[in-house]
Amino acid sequence: MRYSSAASGLAAPDSPPRRGCACAVAWAPTSASPPPGPRGGSEPGGTMFTSTGSSGLYKAPLSKSLLLVPSALSLLLALLLPHCQKLFVYDLHAVKNDFQIWRLICGRIICLDLKDTFCSSLLIYNFRIFERRYGSRKFASFLLGSWVLSALFDLLLVEAMQYSFGITAASNLPSGFLAPVFALFVPFYCSIPRVQVAQILGPLSITNKTLIYILGLQLFTSGSYIWIVAISGLISGLCYDSKMFQVHQVLCIPSWMAKFFSWTLEPIFSSSEPTSEARIGMGATLDIQRQQRMELLDRQLMFSQFAQGRRQRQQQGGMINWNRLFPPLRQRQNVNYQGGQQSEPAVPPPLEVSEEQVARLMEMGFSRGDALEALRASNNDLNVATNFLLQH
């Protein structure tokens, strides 16, 4: 588990930026498997969730713990200990009138509704990209900050509803770790590139982020007053992500605590690096399968060359010569002999790079130089360029 912070996006304690861990919502794919093809981030046999990566919970121990522990406790309370569920009810009325402050903790960790448990677990699994991108410490700081801030906004929204409309919702709020899940939609919307997967009608299209939003909408409409928790989570995520009032410096995980959990919990929740190969279309003809294999080998060659160049850069310093590492794989230098003399191969002009795509990569925390060279190496394919930069 690496607890150092990375370049941009989620606000976190001051520490040197890093991009060493893999990440994914396009979310660009960040598994050990080859990057997606040039059309919107889906390779043969892929799905619309390719933006979240296919490497499971590799390099995401905190996300794995949030998937396993609360879900197991939720099932335990629902099936074996239903009489103990009253201890985990999120009741702001009891907090305010009976000073049961402990409910702000117990009532906001475990979901008592199994539908909420299922939806929030799927969202946490898809949001594991942020832990890979920014590191476990920074990811944990964001969750902690949004969790604390959302409790305050819950109280304010409940009081505003009571004062303005006479609606009492203090005793009907859903329990569980829901507000930080909704807060993660803020960096998801702001920092993850949108890649079109399919066109429906006119301006309507399906992107690599569509199903995540649909899943969030399902969770948003799962209860009568869950919208209060959702709004407070979005507001807290916006405050933390924009570094409003410097809350990211106050609500953060100390380095000593990060190291402690790294030593104690990392061996339990860490996942091994995936080694599975990308799938090849089963129903394709032999020619199509051969072509897919060729493209797969090309991408694997790009990754191996990039990894070798990254190691050389770490040993010697300086910028990577991307043009040397990534020559066009489909083009071969033709040697023409005329009159017994060997002619020099023509050097292709530098590829025009879209400034918009450069800006999107820089928003994800990469330097302009790396963004330019990655886009040139990937023939202006934003998805492949992002995968190159995030994978190594």
Q: Cα–Cα distance between 379 and 367 in angstroms, integer?
A: 18
Closest by alpha carbon to 196, among 188, 206, 186, 185? 206
Could you tell me if residue 255 is inside a domain?
A: yes
Q: Residue 33's pLDDT is what?
A: 37
The dihedrals phi and psi of 332, each to the nearest 5 degrees, come to -120, 145
Could you tell me if residue 328 is inside a domain?
A: no
Could you tell me if residue 23 is inside a domain?
A: no
Closest by alpha carbon to 258, among 127, 128, 141? 141
Give one word for 379, left, alpha or beta, with left for phi > 0 and alpha for psi -120 to 50: left
Does the pLDDT value for residue 304 go beyond 80? no
> Of 219, 242, 268, which marks where a domain is finished?
268
Residues 260 and 153 in one domain: yes
Does the pLDDT value for residue 284 go beyond 60? no
> Of 223, 249, 268, which marks where a domain is finished?
268
Could you tell me if residue 178 is inside a domain?
A: yes
Residues 228 and 369 in one domain: no
Which CATH number is 107's domain given? Answer: 1.20.1540
Q: Average pLDDT in the 283-290 region? A: 55
Counted domains in the chain: 2
Residue 38, Cβ neighbours under 10 Å: how many? 15
Sign of CA dihedral 90, 92, 98, 103: positive
Q: Residue 171's pLDDT is what?
A: 81
* Encoded tokens for 392: 């190594």
If you count them, how many residues does the chain have?
Answer: 392
The residue ranking higher by pLDDT, 381 or 286, is 381
- Residues 233 and 181: beta-carbon distance below 8 Å: yes
Could you tell me if residue 380 is inside a domain?
A: yes
Residues 367 and 261 in one domain: no
Q: Residue 9's pLDDT is what?
A: 42
Does the pLDDT value for residue 31 go beyond 60? no
Q: Residue 120's pLDDT is what?
A: 95
- pLDDT, the chain, mean: 75
Could you tell me if residue 12 is inside a domain?
A: no
Q: Residue 144's pLDDT is what?
A: 95
- Domain holding 376, by residue range, is 353-391
Residues forming a β-bridge with 338: 341
The residue ranking higher by pLDDT, 226 or 306, is 226
- Residues 147 and 83: beta-carbon distance below 8 Å: no
Residues 244 and 382 in one domain: no
Could you tell me if residue 9 is inside a domain?
A: no
Residues 117 and 214 in one domain: yes
Lowest mean pLDDT among 41-45, 260-264, 280-284: 41-45
Q: Which amino acid is at 316?
A: Q
Could you tell me if residue 145 is inside a domain?
A: yes
Residues 229 and 369 in one domain: no
Does the pLDDT value for residue 42 go beyond 50? no
Which CATH number is 386's domain given? Answer: 1.10.8.10
Does the pLDDT value for residue 183 go beyond 90? yes
Q: Whole-model pTM?
A: 0.62
